[in-house]
Amino acid sequence: MEILRYTAFSSDPAGGNPAGVVLPADGLHDARMQEIAAELGYSETAFLSALAPGRAQLRFFAPAAEVPFCGHATIATGVALAQRQGVGAYIFSTPVGEIAVDTEAAGAGFTATLTSVQPQVRGVDAPVRTALLAALNLQESDLDPLLPLLQAFAGNWHPIVPVAAAGILANLDYNYEALAELMAGQGWQATVDVVFRTGASSFEVRNPFPPGGVREDPATGSAAASLGAYLRHLEAVEVPGRVVVHQGQYVGRPSEILVDIPSEGGIRVTGAAVEIGLAATDATGTGTAGTGTAGTGTAGTGTAGTGTAGTGTAGTGTAGTGTMEAGA
């Protein structure tokens, strides 16, 4: 068994969103998977099992609990397999359904493309909308008049909040406690996707992530897929078509997510991934998860918490303005 560390949606180890990848994870019980995820300290770690030609099972654990789906950890897993077995196509059975993943060589590295489960889009009730804007410290006048505030699903539910100007996005400063409470009450387990349209087929986005215990996520694959579903629902882009999503610059981990939007069916999300640090092996199920430091952006005092990935501890913090690595 290998315990790997990757960053997804970047070919630069200093960019993207870090994730753990454990393969093969056959025979690991849930408690051990939870321990490994906590030791790594990343927002999600992917555990691959039942690997067969073209198929595998994939589960995702955050440091505190199992989560149903994680886009960036899926991309990281695809690239890890491409590096070890060559490029190809897989079907990953996940708690939210089957996710198709295709891998390709790209220069000196690899990219992976996931196809989401069938998307859904729905409105946001007026009282929830009011509370959401208040928690984000946004006014109705801050919103893009051409793109409505809705919520979309492509593995996780994400509120999509389009703003009218780049400066509004840049100055986003939300109320962590209020947003955490609202998201818990609505069952939103991932991020809020605050987006600004920079061109006909390009967006700059920021993703507050209180459910993950961090201020802001640097790259969110499921949110990008949900944005693609949202745009198709509104007929706001030509389909089939591609949208480029830039994320992470405000937390110092720039990321690029390619979103291909077909006329029907799942949304395709593509990104690079690169291994960071050194892999660890755990043949007995009792070893530790590597030797590097897993940054866990704390939602606390304006600083980024750190957790040591080799000692079974993970950095934690309290609500505030700190940012760093996390995501869905």
| Lowest-pLDDT choice from 98-112, 169-183, 211-225 | 211-225
Specify the pairing of strand 55-61 against strand 89-94: parallel
Residue 39 CA, chain-centre distance (Å), reads 19
Q: How far apart are CA 79 and CA 114, in angstroms?
A: 11
> Bridge-partner residues for 245, per DSSP?
203, 257
pLDDT band at 58 (very low <50, low <70, confident <90, very high): very high
pLDDT of residue 312: 36
Whether 161 shows a pLDDT value over 70: the answer reads yes
Return the residue matching tokens 């109705």: 140
CA distances from 29 to 21, 59, 256, 299, 314 (A): 16, 12, 35, 31, 21
Specify the pairing of strand 150-153 against strand 157-162: antiparallel
Whether 33 shows a pLDDT value over 90: the answer reads yes
Q: How far apart are CA 176 and CA 271, in angstroms?
A: 29
- Tell me the one-letter amino acid at 240: P
pLDDT of residue 66: 85
> Bridge-partner residues for 320, per DSSP?
none
pLDDT tens digit sequence for 227-257: 999 999 999 999 999 999 999 999 999 999 9
pLDDT band at 79 (very low <50, low <70, confident <90, very high): very high
pLDDT band at 294 (very low <50, low <70, confident <90, very high): very low
Q: Are the CB atoms for 20 and 41 separated by under 8 Å?
A: no
> Bridge-partner residues for 269, per DSSP?
114, 259
Return the residue matching tokens 């801050």: 142
Nearest to 74 by CA among 53, 97, 106: 97
pLDDT tens digit sequence for 166-212: 999 999 999 999 999 999 999 998 999 999 999 999 999 999 988 87
pLDDT of residue 154: 97
Sequence length of the chain is 328
DSSP 6: E
